[in-house]
Structure 1
């Protein structure tokens, strides 16, 4: 497939949301590693455990640095497009993925929103098919609701309770 860009992209706030989420996770990991280092010294564990913990701390530092830069590149790589027949997704930093989902195969379309996404009025959309699930990770609420309705209409899905 060509390296052309599809017409729609994620919300520009996506990198910020992804960084906040990653940094909260890394902070919790550093606290756990700190507690384990304290437990190592308090309980006089074998020396090899100390070196494993130091290795995990170094790895966590590198992963924290990567989690600062990665959202920008991931955001730039993401695009999607849809019409009455197909939903097309394109994403990936090192390995580019092109996904084409026929509208006839879509079984459900849902939106989700976590606490950080709620703060910035962003939602993700999950498209379920018989054999797989595809997620568009960050769209403005109005765009997400509109896309969900259009995909449901094109896929001829019915509202629950109808």
Structure 2
């Protein structure tokens, strides 16, 4: 596969879905840290635990800032393409990954949809081979279901032909 862009991209809702998911995760992280600060105060833990918790808060703040910016960059870098021979994936912000999955090696194709993805009518699609699995994180619901059927059909046809 060359450095060219692939035909298809993720759902335009992907950055919003990812930001909502990350925001929930970050809120839970801050609540847990708040509980630890209260436990530190209540049980009068050694002084170093307070500074450890402060360090974790700083890391959580940095992670929260990154989780606001990262989905947009990840959305721009994600693309995929398929034909009767291969499924090709390209993704990554700092380290660009190019994955080519031969249709003959696909063992199963599945879709999944959580509550946030359901709200935005998207699904993720997971392609499993003998040695690995690859996920396309957010496709429009109809596209994901069609792609699942197409990949399963191509994989089955190739298996029958051999």
Q: TM-score range by the shorter chain?
A: over 0.9
Alignment deviations for residues 89-128 of structure 1 (CA, whole Å, 9 cap, x no partner)? 0000000000000000000000000110011110000000
Which 4+ residue blocks in structure 1 deviate beyond 3 angstroms?
none
TM-score, normalising length: structure 1: 0.95
Answering whether residue 80 of structure 2 is matched by residue 84 of structure 1, we say no
Shift of 1:4: 1.1
Structure 2, unmatched stretches of 5+, are 158-162
TM alignment of 1:74-153, pairs within 5 A = 74-153=74-153
Structure 1, unmatched stretches of 5+, are 158-162
TM-score, normalising length: structure 2: 0.95
* Partner Cα distance (1:10, 1:153) in 2: 22
Question: Per the alignment, in what secondary structure is the counterpart of residue 99 of structure 1?
Answer: strand
**1:43 paired residue number:** 43
Q: CA RMSD in A?
A: 0.8
Count of residue pairs the alignment pairs up? 157
**1:55 paired residue number:** 55
Shift of 1:81: 0.2
